[in-house]
Amino acid sequence: MTPSEIQSIKQRFGIIGNAPSLNYAIQVAAQVAPTDMTVLITGESGSGKESFSKIIHSLSPRKHGQFIAINCGAIPEGTIDSELFGHEKGSFTGAQEARKGYFEVTNGGTIFLDEIGEMPLGTQARLLRVLENGEFIRVGSSKVQKTDVRVVAATNVNLLDAVREGRFREDLYYRLNTVPITVPPLRERGDDIYLLFRKFVTDFADRYRVKPVTLTPDAVQELQRFRFPGNIRQLKNVAEQMSVLETDRDVDIRRLRQYLPVQQASQLPMLLHAAGPDAAGNGYSERDLLYKVLFDMRRDMTDLKKLVLELAAGQRPQDSQELLRQNSHLFTNLNAAPYEGARPLRQPSPDGGATEYILTPGALDDATDYEEEDTQRVEDIPHETEEETLSLEAKEKEMIMKALKKHHNKRKYAAHDLGISERTLYRKLKQYDLEQA
């Protein structure tokens, strides 16, 4: 495909930018459009995945058929089968008449399934049958019906991770991933960021009948350095705020920074994502990382207590020195002297840095005096050294119960307070057997 053809597609669908990765994604979409192959579009939230589904439909022989975009994560689990495949009258409570599903309505057209990773496993099995045989059955019916629908799916999560965790069918993944298209995040598109910003502020200036906002050169560099975890959606939001609120239409770097939030958790090094997956498949969440740090600190303090008790209970001097050598990591990097008799590991730095301390073998040998003076205190400590559960699942269950109690079992508000979707909360309630909570 020639550059002029790619540019023509951009103009037709309102796509701004010249990044090579963006041009390649458009080229793949245009090449696969004339076929009936299933396409899986991957990319971060807000990166513009739906635009590529429209390109595929509009350049295909199905362009005169119907195009429907469905957000799988926004449909409750109990009704998604009815929405997609239809239902018969009386098939469930409230089904007062028969209804056609999206796969029946879009016969001969294209259906775009966004957030496909949120689709329940039972619905995934029904979708697989549609993709392989073009057949489906309405809810409450036994009659097999035929449909000729092209499926374009999109996701912002790693479906292979979801497959490994049992949240997504492996056979469906390979059936959907016939042709993969990766939409690049905004932070990887370089100069496209400023091009998009200029387009947005011009549009908002026309809408609000004001002069377009402009940026000073240093502000342009700052804008292009920002990582935009919300991608194009976030950039558009920033442009609209500035168009409405700024009285001086020439914005410098200082005023621009007032509209750019402190960089979020997604700005952390990629090493964190390799540590483990969260519920969405994107790596540990901030809450999980905080729990992990707290549990590690708890474990170290427990080990420290046990070590001190062993030494205080009658360890020989040479034994105490060996235990100190093996567990030296428990005594360093403490910002205050933990026990009487600890000596400074280093002096305070000239700039006021904290003094670090380390327990000396002699100080711990003197702990026998502590035992003689207060035997009862030593006997009372062991029950405190029992480690609490380090299960993130237990803590997650506890947080869900607290949120439900706080909002009087109103799940919508509890899910918002927990920072997860209402659909994810329903799944967690079922997983932890809290549905009657």
Decide if 154 contacts 49 (C-beta within 8 A). Answer: yes
pLDDT value, residue 334: 45
Q: What is the pLDDT of residue 126?
A: 94
pLDDT given for residue 81 in this prediction: 92
User: Is 274 in contact with 158 (CB distance < 8 Å)?
Assistant: no
- pLDDT, residue 241, reads 93
Cα–Cα distance for residue pair 139/214, rounded to 1 Å:
55
Tokens read off for 320: 């105490």
CATH architecture of 392-431: Orthogonal Bundle (1.10)
Domain 187-265 of CATH type 1.10.287.610: no
CB count, 10 Å around CB of 226? 20
Residues of the chain with CATH 1.10.10: 392-431
Helix H or strand E encompassing 137: strand 135-137
pLDDT for 239-288, tens place per residue? 999 999 988 889 999 999 999 987 543 443 444 444 444 444 444 556 66
Q: Among residues 291, 359, 354, which one has the least CA distance to residue 328?
A: 359
Task: Round to whole Å and give the CA distance between 4 and 7.
Answer: 5
φ/ψ of 337, rounded to 5, equals -65, 115
Q: Which of the 8 DSSP states describes residue 347? A: P
CATH 3.40.50.300 spans which residues of the chain?
Answer: 3-184
Whole-structure pTM value: 0.59
Between CA 355 and CA 352 the distance in angstroms is 9
The CATH number that domain 3-184 falls under is 3.40.50.300
d(CA 9, CA 106): 25
Residue ranges, comma separated, of all CATH 1.10.8.60 domains in the chain are 187-265
The DSSP bridge pattern shows strands 250-251 and 110-114 to be unpaired
Q: Tokens 């991957």 correspond to what residue?
A: 42
Tell me what pLDDT residue 381 has. Answer: 41
DSSP-derived secondary structure letter, 117:
G
Three-class secondary structure of residue 364 per DSSP: helix
Name the residue with tokens 């799944």.
427
Regarding beta strands 39-42 and 179-182, do their DSSP bridges make them parallel or antiparallel, or are they unpaired? parallel
CB-count burial class (<10 Å; 0-12, 13-18, 19+) for 307? buried
Start-end of H helices in 327-360: none
Contact present, 270 and 227 (Cβ < 8 Å): no
Low-confidence ranges of the chain (pLDDT < 50): 264-283, 332-351, 353-389
**117, amino acid identity:** G
Place of tokens 């059936």: 175
Going by C-alpha positions, the residue among 76, 118, 73 that lies closest to residue 411 is 76
Position 40, amino acid = L
Q: What is the rounded CA–CA span in Å between residue 119 and residue 108? A: 23
